[in-house]
Amino acid sequence: MELRARVTAAMKQAMKDKDSARLSTIRLINAAIKDRDIALRGEGQEDGVGEAEILSILAKMVKQRRESAKTYEEGGRLDLAERELAEIVVIEGFLPRKLSDDEVAKAVDAAVAEVGADSIRDMGRVMGVLKTKYSGQMDFGAVGALIKDKLAQG
């Protein structure tokens, strides 16, 4: 099922279940997708966002919530941190399975080979390939360090 349809179906189910916490998070997801749709229409793209961009939006939402939860924990607001962490669980339900460390290493090797990267200057191109193929499946902050190490050796 297409990701957008999954979000809509989950929203309807949350309404039926009267699960207000889940419903509010799904509404935030829907709003973020629609916001990006509107921005793209302004740029002349009438068909809106595709699957890859939706995955990117969801990954960004997870990252924002992790940062917020950390900030709340440092500030002693555990109630707000728990709410952020609960939202992460809902959002991650729409993301594909995270890749294992071995799978990430293989994906990096394949991307380096595909681009023909041989120095640190090629890091952006390698990262671009990975983001296109594996959006939402890996932590690109950690992957950046892995790419740097690989290119520094080569």
Distance between CA atoms of residues 6 and 84, nearest Å: 22
Closest CA to 89 of 69, 106, 73, 110: 69
Average pLDDT, the chain: 88
Question: Is the pTM higher than 0.85?
Answer: no
Longest Cα–Cα distance in the chain: 55
Distance between CA atoms of residues 116 and 126, nearest Å: 9
Of the chain, the percentage scoring pLDDT greater than 70 comes to 99
Distance between CA atoms of residues 60 and 69, nearest Å: 14
Give me the CATH code for the 101-153 domain, please.
1.10.10.410
Domain boundary assignment for the chain:
3-92, 101-153
Query: pLDDT-based confidence at 118, cuts 50/70/90?
Result: confident
Q: Give yes or no for residue 152 having a pLDDT over 70.
A: yes
Query: pLDDT-based confidence at 154, cuts 50/70/90?
Result: low
73-100 pLDDT, tens digit each: 999 999 999 999 999 999 999 988 888 8
What the block records as the tokens of 83 is 């709410």
Distance between CA atoms of residues 33 and 42, nearest Å: 14
Q: Which residue has the tokens 């961009």?
A: 53
pLDDT at position 105 is 85
Distance between CA atoms of residues 114 and 132, nearest Å: 13
**Topology of domain 3-92, per CATH?**
Hypothetical Protein Yqey; Chain: A; domain1 (1.10.1510)
30-73 pLDDT, tens digit each: 999 999 999 888 888 777 788 878 888 998 999 999 999 999 99
